Structure 1
Amino acid sequence: MEFTLKESVEYGVIGVLVLMSIVSFWATFERLLFYKYIKLVLYENKTELELDLSRNLTLIATIGSNAPYIGLLGTVFGIILTFVQIGQSGNIDTSSIMTGLALALQATAGGLLVAIPAIIFYNLLLRKCEVLIAQWEIMQEKKQNGNKEL
């Protein structure tokens, strides 16, 4: 079986998007488990807590913001290769043009399918991070007020 340049580009872009999706889901589940089992009482320093809570959030945000561009890049390559194929054959067949363009747009759809959940997960995890920091601050405030009364 011989791969054409167009198939290589399509599989390459889809492969990168699948990899980005897997990494995004892994990072999300890792954070959810970390947030579920974190012991706020073990943290004396707010900066240390913030560093631990925000780990991997940048990775999820980066995937969410760049996945559409990877998909768009695949679409652009697909369109270019479709036009090259048409130019080389000299045959202007509407069905082959539309099929080539439709297949090229799959990459953009794939990029959006990766980006949308990643951005949703990022926002949910960021909110959970903010809530945990607020809970830590309340706990620290209660601890200080308790020491003043003694």
Structure 2
Amino acid sequence: MEHLQRLIDFGVLGFLGLLSVIAVAVALERWLVYRSTRVEQYRDRRELELHLTSKLHMIATIGSNAPYIGLLGTVLGIMLTFYDIGSVGFDTAKIMTGLALALKATAMGLLVAIPAVAMYNFLLRRCKVLLMQWDISHGRKGI
């Protein structure tokens, strides 16, 4: 069972850590792209929109799924705690420690999701501003 606990810790928490790095990297890349984008260079609004929204879905997907991945780790940790109760008996200190450690996966999921959703919303707003600038520069009313 100790191996399974380590697998949950390193598997779930490691995966959430990887997702966090990916979300930050994509957000940074998008921010740099937005800084260098000149809307006047685009003749077609749809082409600009494709350019601006590329990869944003990755951040949104990470932000929306990270809590579920954390919850999965918590459920697995609680299952291991119940298994320990059944196999070695009722030890309050061990049970409370097991439950507390199981909840760290949910906490990590939230720590990944909250900044990812914030970054997604910030970048989506910047994308909309650039599209409005294109509309203004091409003499169009908002679509």
Q: TM-score range with shorter-chain normalisation? A: over 0.9
Aligned counterpart, 2:20: 21
Correspondence list, 1:85-100, <5 A: 85-89=84-88, 91-100=89-98
Stretches of structure 1 that go unaligned for 5 or more consecutive residues are 143-150
Aligned counterpart, 1:147: none
Correspondence list, 1:131-142, <5 A: 131-141=129-139
Aligned counterpart, 1:56: 55
Aligned partners of 1:53 and 1:65: how far apart in 2?
Answer: 21
Aligned partners of 1:79 and 1:11: how far apart in 2?
Answer: 16
For residue 33 of structure 1, report the CA deviation from its aligned partner: 0.1
Aligned counterpart, 1:37: 36
SS where residue 141 of structure 1 aligns? coil
The ranges of structure 1 where at least 4 consecutive aligned residues each deviate by more than 2 angstroms after the TM superposition are: none
SS where residue 6 of structure 2 aligns? helix
Calculate the aligned-residue CA RMSD, in Å. 1.0
Q: 1:127 aligns with which of 106, 125, 129?
A: 125
Stretches of structure 2 that go unaligned for 5 or more consecutive residues are none
TM-score if structure 1 supplies the norm length?
0.90
Aligned counterpart, 2:74: 75
For residue 128 of structure 1, report the CA deviation from its aligned partner: 0.3
The one-letter code sitting in structure 1 at the alignment partner of 2:137 is: M
Aligned partners of 1:95 and 1:4: how far apart in 2?
Answer: 21
Percent identity reads 54
Count of residues in correspondence between the two structures:
139
For residue 88 of structure 1, report the CA deviation from its aligned partner: 1.3
For residue 50 of structure 1, report the CA deviation from its aligned partner: 0.4
